[in-house]
Copies of this chain bind each other. A is one copy, B any other.
Amino acid sequence: MSIISLPSEQTQSLLIRAGEVAVQPALVPEPGPRQVLIEVATVGICGSDVHYFDHGRIADFIVREPLVLGHEASGTIRAVGSEVTDRSVGQRVAMEPQQTCGRCVQCLSGRYNLCPDVEFFATPPIHGAFAQYVVLESHRAHPVPDSVSDEAAALIEPLSVGVWAAQKAGVQPGDRVLVTGAGPVGLLCADVARARGAAWVGVSDTNEHRLQVATDRGASQAINALAGPLTEQIEPVDVILECSGATPAVQAAFDAAAPAARIVMVGLGSPNMELPVATIQIKELVVTGTFRYANCYPAAIALAASGVVDLDGLVTAKFGLEQVAEALSASKADPHTLKPMVYPGVARI
């Protein structure tokens, strides 16, 4: 391991409690034998970060100790552990922010996202990436080519959510795909559906600005959910990627489903929803949900590198480490906000 010339101290941003963040000094961590040390370039703000900031918890995940938030991160490898042979100092990487056991039924079956012992960045008590340096298992640090910017490398994380959702749905040429919800994840789901050759990709939302963004990014049709019943606005669809978490959107989606349609629940909303079971039966719909992603980073990086999916265009604001509270409040301050980015190496931007 070569950590020559690396500093021993760094700075990070901690969520102290709901509504309160603080910049504090910390030690630069030392990578384990199979880990790499990464100097963080930039970190996207995810809705879950905002939720922890606002409420101090998400469901049963409670922030009991000060927590470093941020899990959509990129950076550069500055040191590698003693047994690392597949990565090298200086590589720019997109961080897959999870560590899994590799030994349970889920890991051994290729579903490591369902590992009961998963440790995921910024999910209590695991620290995230609003820090100058983080360590990561080497195989979770995915090198990116020069054509992928630091911002895009960070946003490989939400793009992976879209890659996973579209893969679960089996989107393919000829499919008509409806994406409900035009936030960053919805927009990326739409992009991936297009990248998989979907014949038609409609995006619905109630926010006209977001619908305009969807159209600008190539959606076949932007659907204002307030403009009337969904089934009067569109023809039946083969795939629904539900990214709104809004119960009415979910229920409307089932009506729009063609026979044998696949519905993937991506957006988090009410834990229980009244669903049309008879419709699932009569149309033999297939309904599933996604929990993060598995094995999606290489595909997501390829989509970004080739320009098929534009990640840089999602960035709406940039903040330094001392502005994390501001970054976490950006979406409330400006409804046009899509993806604020935090740069841990910079105090203020």
User: Which residues of chain B have C-beta atoms less than 8 A from A299's C-beta?
Assistant: 172-174, 197, 199
Mark out the residues of chain A between 244 and 297 whose CB falls within 8 Å of any chain B CB in the assembled complex: 250, 259-260, 265-266, 268-291, 294-296
A308 at the interface (CB under 8 A from B): yes
Interface pair B273/A283, CB less than 8 Å apart: no
Given B173, B192, B259, B276, which contacts A114 in the complex, CB threshold below 8 Å?
B259
CB distance from A110 to the nearest CB of B (A): 2
- Rounded to whole angstroms, the CA-CA distance of A34 and B117 in the bound complex is 15
User: Which residues of chain B have C-beta atoms less than 8 A from A294's C-beta?
Assistant: 108
User: Which residues of chain B have C-beta atoms less than 8 A from A343's C-beta?
Assistant: none
User: Which residues of chain B have C-beta atoms less than 8 A from A332's C-beta?
Assistant: none
- Rounded to whole angstroms, the CA-CA distance of A282 and B106 in the bound complex is 13
Given B104, B174, B265, which contacts A298 in the complex, CB threshold below 8 Å?
B174
User: Which residues of chain B have C-beta atoms less than 8 A from A113's C-beta?
Assistant: 284
Interface pair B287/A286, CB less than 8 Å apart: yes
- Rounded to whole angstroms, the CA-CA distance of A275 and B306 in the bound complex is 35
The 6 lowest CB-CB distance pairs between A and B, nearest first, are A110-B110, A174-B299, A281-B289, A102-B102, A199-B302, A271-B278
CB distance from A139 to the nearest CB of B (A): 5
- Rounded to whole angstroms, the CA-CA distance of A107 and B167 in the bound complex is 19
- 7 new A-B contacts at CB < 8 Å, known A108-B294, A110-B110: A104-B139, A173-B195, A196-B197, A197-B299, A270-B277, A271-B276, A281-B291
User: Which residues of chain B have C-beta atoms less than 8 A from A303's C-beta?
Assistant: 173, 197, 199
Interface pair B174/A196, CB less than 8 Å apart: no
Q: Interface of A with B (CB < 8 Å)?
A: 34, 59, 102-114, 137-139, 163, 167-168, 172-174, 192, 195-197, 199-200, 250, 259-260, 265-266, 268-291, 294-296, 298-300, 302-303, 306, 308
User: Which residues of chain B have C-beta atoms less than 8 A from A137's C-beta?
Assistant: 103
- Closest partner residue, chain B, to A162 (CB atom): B173
Interface pair B302/A34, CB less than 8 Å apart: no
User: Which residues of chain B have C-beta atoms less than 8 A from A276's C-beta?
Assistant: 271-272
Interface pair A286/B288, CB less than 8 Å apart: yes
A173-B195, A274-B274, A277-B265 known; A109-B107 Cβ under 8 A: no
CB distance from A81 to the nearest CB of B (A): 12
A102-B102, A275-B272, A275-B275 known; A281-B286 Cβ under 8 A: no
CB distance from A143 to the nearest CB of B (A): 14
User: Which residues of chain B have C-beta atoms less than 8 A from A174's C-beta?
Assistant: 163, 296, 298-300, 302
- Rounded to whole angstroms, the CA-CA distance of A275 and B269 in the bound complex is 13
- Rounded to whole angstroms, the CA-CA distance of A299 and B171 in the bound complex is 12
- Rounded to whole angstroms, the CA-CA distance of A196 and B302 in the bound complex is 13
Interface pair B289/A288, CB less than 8 Å apart: no
- Rounded to whole angstroms, the CA-CA distance of A5 and B190 in the bound complex is 48
Interface pair A272/B274, CB less than 8 Å apart: yes
- Closest partner residue, chain B, to A302 (CB atom): B199
User: Which residues of chain B have C-beta atoms less than 8 A from A269's C-beta?
Assistant: 277
User: Which residues of chain B have C-beta atoms less than 8 A from A195's C-beta?
Assistant: 173, 197
